[in-house]
Amino acid sequence: MRLNFIPPLMPCLVDKPPEGDAWIHEVKFDGYRSQIAIEDAEVRIFTRRGLDWTAKYRDLVETAKGLNVQNAIIDGEIIVLNDDGVSDFGELRRAISRRQHDLYFVAFDLLHLNGHSLLDMPLEDRREVLHAIIPEGERIQFSEALPGTSSAVFHLVEQAGLEGVVSKRKDSKYRSGPSTNWLKAKCYTIDEYELLGVEREAGKPAFALMAERGTGRYVGSAFITLNREMRERLWQRVQEHAGTAPKGMKRPATHWVKSGLIGRLKHLRGEEDLRHASLQDFREEEGT
């Protein structure tokens, strides 16, 4: 019987990783959650939603064929590393089409092996078996648990510029869908974006609408956390630089501005668009 795609277990987002000895902590990589299904000489690679992307990952398919298993389902993340050795989501999309040899699959769970479902096996035991079947130095790598307390691990990951930490209960079974047995804590980062406008509605917090610098692509809104003096200065600049709405954007409560105002935002690291973002400061672009 052919192996079927298993919808992945999805970690819940928390502010910080849990404490205690009941958990293991792994690096949260910035890539595409994927699943490798091996059946004899055939290998298929699925996306998080179950789409068959085997044809996009030719080199990883060949590496998977070399694993010493008859059949298996491996849960993991497809990544590409930047020059600092950190997973880079932006480079990943380019690597899939142009640089297959730069792709890695980081394996962190084993759901099926040689005719047996491992879903009811404790996480620690599943990972022990997984570790044994992943050779070192290949494009498929094992996601090692990080030693130390959760706070020390999170600090180390944050300082290294990584996306965050995934904490998993050692004794947990694998169940598809959102689960509090896996928790993800993301790090924050500071970046600059172009201000498109300020959304102000009576009785509601004000938000800055932001775009990617250079492309003008709308990436989301940021809560304005400036002090009173800076808020007044921002509002003055918005009025002085009054502009029109970008094409396709209809937000009646927004005061749009011309290009030239740059906002400094604190936001969750490793997201394509802004999440949990706040405006920390702003400036006028040089030459405007």
Provide the 10 A C-beta neighbour count for residue 157: 23
Q: Which has the closest alpha carbon to 162: 15, 32, 288, 268?
A: 268
Of 57, 66, 42, 52, the C-alpha closest to 5 is 52
What's the burial of 150, exposed, middle or buried (CB within 10 Å: 0-12/13-18/19+)?
Answer: buried
Among 28, 168, 184, 186, the active-site one is 28
Biggest alpha carbon–alpha carbon distance for the chain: 68
* Residue whose C-alpha is closest to residue 221's, from 193, 245, 248, 246: 193
The answer to whether 37 and 46 are in contact (CB under 8 A) is: yes
Question: What separation in angstroms does the CA of 236 have from each of 28, 58, 223, 240, 241?
Answer: 41, 55, 18, 6, 9
Strand partners for 13: 184
28 is catalytic: yes
Q: Taking a C-beta distance cutoff of 8 angstroms, is the pair 38, 45 a contact?
A: no
Using DSSP, how many helices (H) and how many strands (E) does the chain show? Answer: 5, 16
| Pairwise CA distance, residues 107 & 117, whole Å | 17
Task: State the alpha helices, DSSP H only, in 56-162.
Answer: 58-65, 89-98, 123-133, 150-159
Active site positions, annotated: 28
